Amino acid sequence: MNAADFYPGLDWKLNDARDKYTLGHMGGSDGCINFGDSDNKGLLKCLKKFGLPDIYKNHCCKVSLADFIVIAAEALMGRTSPDYNQDDPFSDETTAGKFFKTFRFGRET
C-alpha cells in the first residue's frame, strides 16, 4: 500500500515520473497534469479539498506551480512512506530524504 491508495489521483505524480523514464528521459516528474486523463480522475477535487490552491498563493512568488505540485506530492509520499522517521525525516534512509536530496527546481508553469 502506498500514498496513492489513500489520496485519489495522487498516482499522477508516479505516472508522470514513470513516463519520463519510459521515454528515456531522466529527471523525474515535470509537474505537468492533464486533468482530462482518466488516471487523474478526482485529482482536481482532491487538490481543492486539501487547499493546495490557497497554500500555493503563499509561495507563488518563490516557486513555480509545477515545482510546487511536485514538492507537495513528494512531501505526501515521504510522510506516508513506511520508512518515515519522525526524529530525522530527511535522513538518507527515508523516502523524504531521497526526494529532498534529488529535487531540482526550475520546472515552468
pLDDT score of 27: 54
d(CA 32, CA 14) in angstroms, rounded, equals 12
pLDDT at residue 91 above 80? yes
d(CA 80, CA 68): 18
pLDDT at 38: 83
Please give the pLDDT value at position 34: 77
Is a pLDDT exceeding 70 seen at residue 76?
Answer: yes
